[in-house]
């Protein structure tokens, strides 16, 4: 070991060719505090002793391209660039103040861990770390104050353990701060506080996880990703075996995109801030979530939420979410075992067309002003017995696209299936009343007639009231007629009774013998004709209404 940290600056200088020859020997060499002049080129070599540098300064690039070495340490070292493409080693440590503009690790194979904790990389607007297709047997960490100005490129990297950025800061404004496209992570991804470290995480620029695979979980606790006008997290086709934690203070400025993602467990967004501005805050079209998606506990959303075609095997939950800044909540073609719509503040609009849920758990008074329910189906409603059916009817009536029969028919079927027959009939009546808006003039008149005469077939007893009123009215008119206007048509004729005559004229299928025995002339003849016409109308309405009601039931 050579510790030059207390030496004079001129005594610390080591020329790179001399150092390269010394390092080629079998004996381990550990250097502390030296300054290496010239390019240190160890490319293509096979070394039996580990590389160990601490608090050293390299004036030019360190080239380890294709090097095979038991381990390599550059703790606290500073250099312009570290080239280590296709490096083969057991461990790589470039931590605790390590500084470089660029680190190249493409295709490197590290059997153990790679540690960049506390390192500083600065290559503004370009790649700060190029590690595509690299392989790490254990963990890869960028923790405890790691900072990068430039992109961290880990496309197609394979990491056997965890990839961690706890307590780190990435800077690539308007670009991709971290690229993990098609990467494979064997245990966990930490882009925020880890299980025992509340360090957080910040990124200026996009985090790309397109087609990445995480065989454990992803944790964004306390993370803040800022990419306004673009994607904060682009994770199209991401696969996560268990859960995603985007809660506990997670903030995303820009779109969080989980389109076609496959998540084995729950996606936690409790208390998160998703700010998509005027665009989409959260997109998870056709995503498959094996447990729940929780946007709860004060989660704040600015921008649209698009879950078109998503599948949630447990619960899609918006309990106490602030959706006031969400212009549209697109849940069309959603399939969720349970849908909880109880936000603190509702979105401006929600689209549930062609969606299905096993259980609809909602607050009917907190629906937005605009919503679509076409072909929306559900097996049960949790508040069915506690919410007056009139509130549910009003809910259907205010649907964005006006009258369509399916929402009424489905709600009635759900009530009927749970034994609320009377409520189901009221929904069916409300459906026919709402239908009137889309009918022609003749259809509207017939609709009104069925409503007032037989209650669309659900209140056939109304006919008896109409019959009674018409018999009384017609009988009274006949009683006041001039006797000479009432003439017997045959003898012997039964005694004339004005009320029985009115009843005989009114009911087509009834024959009391009065109408066939007596003729009525003069002004009251119009009453006889009116009663006959009214009778046929009432009979037709009764038969049509009752038949339709029976068919619907």
* Domain region containing 137: 105-257
Q: What is the pLDDT of residues 488-504, one digit of tens each?
A: 566 676 666 667 666 66
Position 28 scores a pLDDT of: 87
Specify if 445 maps to a domain: no
- Assigned domain for 447 exists: no
Instruction: Name the domain boundary from 195, 225, 257.
Output: 257
Q: Are 54 and 76 in contact (CB under 8 A)?
A: yes
| pLDDT at 129 (0 to 100) | 98
Q: Is residue 443 part of a domain?
A: no
Question: 205 with 299, same domain?
Answer: no
When pLDDT is averaged across residues 337-357 and rounded to a whole number, the result is: 96
Q: Is residue 262 part of a domain?
A: no
Residue 449 placed within a domain: no
Sort 440 into a burial class: Cβ within 10 Å, 0-12 / 13-18 / 19+.
exposed
Same domain? 342 vs 394:
no
Lowest mean pLDDT, pick from 117-126, 231-240, 427-436 = 427-436
For residue 404, what pLDDT is reported?
87
Mean pLDDT over the full length of the chain: 87
Task: Tell me the C-alpha distance between 162 and 139, whole Å.
Answer: 5
Q: How far is CA 67 from CA 45, 83, 85, 89, 109, in A?
A: 5, 10, 9, 8, 10
Secondary structure tally for the chain: helices H, strands E = 8, 49
Give residue 182's pLDDT band: very low, low, confident or very high (50, 70, 90): very high
Interval 236-251 mean pLDDT: 96
The predicted structure's pLDDT at residue 10 = 72
| Between 541 and 189, the higher pLDDT residue | 189
276 inside domain: yes
pTM of the model: 0.83
C-alpha distances in angstroms, 272 versus 157, 201, 302, 368?
Answer: 29, 14, 11, 21
Q: Does residue 522 fall inside a structural domain? A: yes
- pLDDT of 58: 97
Instruction: Give residue 373's pLDDT.
Output: 95
- Predicted confidence (pLDDT) per residue in 95-121, tens digit: 999 999 999 999 999 999 999 999 999
What is the distance between the alpha carbons of residues 62 and 67, in angstroms, rounded to a whole number?
12
With b for 16 or more beta-carbon neighbours within 10 A and e for fewer, the 190-200 pattern comes to bbbbbeeeebb
Q: How much is the pLDDT for 430?
A: 81
The per-residue pLDDT for 483 is 62
Task: Please check whether residues 389 and 372 belong to one and the same domain.
Answer: no
449 vs 376 pLDDT, higher one: 376
What whole-number percentage of the chain has pLDDT above 70?
78
Lowest mean pLDDT among 95-104, 141-150, 371-380, 444-453: 444-453
Which tens digit of pLDDT belongs to each residue from 325-334?
999 999 999 9
Q: pLDDT tens across 44-83, in order?
A: 999 999 999 999 999 999 999 999 999 999 999 999 999 9
Q: Are residues 361 and 491 in the same domain?
A: no
222 and 359, same domain (yes or no):
no
d(CA 9, CA 14): 11
Q: Is residue 478 scored above 70 in pLDDT?
A: no
Count of domains for the chain: 5
Predicted local confidence at residue 432, as pLDDT: 73
- pLDDT at res. 125: 87
The answer, yes or no, to whether residue 469 has pLDDT greater than 90, is no
The verdict on 390 and 374 lying in the same domain is no
Lowest-pLDDT range of 78-87, 126-135, 177-186, 425-434: 425-434
Q: What digits encode the pLDDT tens for the residues 516-538?
A: 566 676 666 666 666 667 666 66
- Going by pLDDT thresholds of 50, 70 and 90, the confidence category of residue 401 is confident
pLDDT-derived band at 411 (thresholds 50, 70, 90) equals very high
Q: Is the pLDDT of residue 360 over 90?
A: yes
Domain boundary among 199, 231, 257: 257
Rounded Cα distance between 441 and 437, Å, is 10
For residue 447, give every residue at least 6 positions away whose Cβ sits within 8 Å of its Cβ, in sequence order, or none.
432, 433, 435, 436, 439
- Identify the weakest region by mean pLDDT among 78-92, 286-300, 379-393: 379-393
What pLDDT sits at residue 450? 62
Q: How would you class 51 by CB atoms within 10 Å of its CB: exposed for 0-12, middle for 13-18, buried for 19 or more? A: buried
111-115, 269-273, 319-323, 417-421: the lowest-pLDDT one = 417-421
pLDDT value of position 429: 76
pLDDT above 60 for 550: no
- Per-residue confidence (pLDDT) for residue 260, from 0 to 100: 98
Nearest one of 187, 164, 171, 239 to 209, comparing CA atoms:
239
Lowest-confidence segment of 34-43, 154-163, 308-317, 420-429 by average pLDDT: 420-429
- Is pLDDT of 446 > 60? no
Same domain, yes or no, for 197 and 137? Answer: yes
- State which of 47, 63, 94 marks the end of a domain: 94
pLDDT given for residue 551 in this prediction = 56
- Cα 533 versus chain centre, distance: 59
DSSP assignments along 430-449, one per residue: HHHHHHGGGS-HHHHHHHHH
Task: Give the three-class secondary structure for 451.
Answer: helix
Same-domain pairing of 333 and 414: no
Indicate whether 450 belongs to any domain: no
pLDDT of residue 12: 77
Assess whether 65 and 175 both reside in one domain.
no
Q: Same domain, yes or no, for 118 and 218?
A: yes
Residues 355 and 329 sit within 8 Å (Cβ to Cβ): no
User: Mean pLDDT over residues 309-319, rounded?
Assistant: 98
Are both 76 and 216 inside the same structural domain? no
Packing angle, helices 389-397 and 405-417, rounded to 10: 160
Is residue 155 domain-shared with residue 65, that is, in the same domain?
Answer: no
């Amino acid at each position: 070991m050579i510790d030059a940290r207390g030496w004079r600056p001129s005594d610390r200088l080591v020329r790179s060719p001399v150092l390269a020859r010394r390092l080629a020997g079998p004996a381990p060499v550990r250097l502390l505090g030296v300054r290496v002049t010239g390019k240190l080129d160890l490319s293509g070599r096979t070394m039996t002793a580990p590389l160990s540098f601490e608090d050293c300064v390299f004036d030019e690039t360190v080239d380890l391209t294709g090097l095979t070495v038991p381990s390599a340490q550059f703790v606290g070292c500073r250099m312009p660039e570290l080239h280590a493409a296709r490096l083969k080693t057991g461990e790589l440590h470039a931590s605790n103040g390590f500084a470089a503009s660029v680190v190249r690790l493409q295709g490197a194979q590290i059997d153990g861990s790679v540690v960049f904790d506390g390192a500083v990389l600065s290559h503004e607007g370009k790649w700060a770390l190029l590690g595509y297709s690299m392989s790490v047997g254990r963990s890869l960490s960028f923790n405890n104050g790691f900072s990068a100005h430039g992109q961290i490129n880990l496309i197609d990297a394979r990491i056997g353990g965890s990839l961690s950025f706890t307590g780190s800061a990435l800077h690539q404004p308007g670009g991709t701060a971290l690229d993990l496209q098609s990467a494979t992570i064997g245990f966990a991804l930490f882009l925020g506080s880890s299980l025992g470290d509340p360090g957080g995480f910040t990124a200026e620029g996009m985090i790309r996880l397109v087609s990445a695979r995480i065989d454990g979980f992803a944790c964004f606790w306390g993370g803040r990703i800022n990419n306004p006008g673009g994607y904060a997290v682009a994770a199209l086709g991401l696969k996560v075996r268990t859960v995603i934690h985007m809660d506990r203070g997670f903030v995303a400025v820009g779109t969080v995109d989980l389109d076609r993602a496959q998540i084995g467990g729950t996606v936690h967004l409790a208390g998160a801030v998703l700010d998509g501005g005027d665009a989409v805050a959260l997109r998870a079209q056709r995503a498959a979530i094996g447990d729940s998606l929780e946007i709860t506990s004060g989660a704040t959303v600015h921008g649209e939420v698009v879950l078109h075609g998503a599948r949630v095997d447990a619960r899609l939950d918006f309990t106490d979410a602030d959706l006031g800044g969400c212009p549209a909540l697109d849940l069309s073609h959603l399939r969720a075992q349970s849908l909880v719509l109880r936000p603190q503040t509702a979105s401006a609009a929600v689209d549930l067309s062609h969606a299905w849920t096993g259980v609809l758990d909602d607050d009917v008074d907190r629906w937005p002003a605009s919503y679509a329910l076409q072909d929306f189906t559900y097996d049960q409603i949790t508040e069915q017995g506690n919410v007056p059916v009139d509130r549910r009817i009003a809910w259907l009536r205010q649907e964005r696209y006006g009258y369509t029969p399916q929402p009424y028919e489905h709600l009635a079927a759900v009530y009927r299936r749970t034994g609320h027959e009377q409520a189901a009939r009221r929904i069916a009546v409300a459906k026919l009343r709402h239908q009137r808006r889309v009918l022609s003039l003749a259809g509207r008149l017939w609709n009104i007639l069925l409503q007032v005469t037989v209650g669309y077939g659900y209140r056939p007893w109304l006919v008896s009231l109409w019959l009674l009123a018409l018999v009384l009215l017609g009988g009274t008119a006949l009683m006041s007629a001039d006797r000479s206007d009432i003439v017997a048509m045959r003898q012997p004729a039964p005694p004339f009774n004005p009320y029985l005559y009115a009843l005989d004229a009114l009911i087509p299928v009834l024959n009391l013998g009065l109408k066939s025995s007596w003729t009525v002339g003069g002004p009251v003849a119009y009453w006889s004709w009116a009663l006959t016409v009214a009778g046929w109308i009432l009979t037709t309405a009764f038969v049509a209404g009752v038949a339709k009601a029976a068919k619907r039931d």
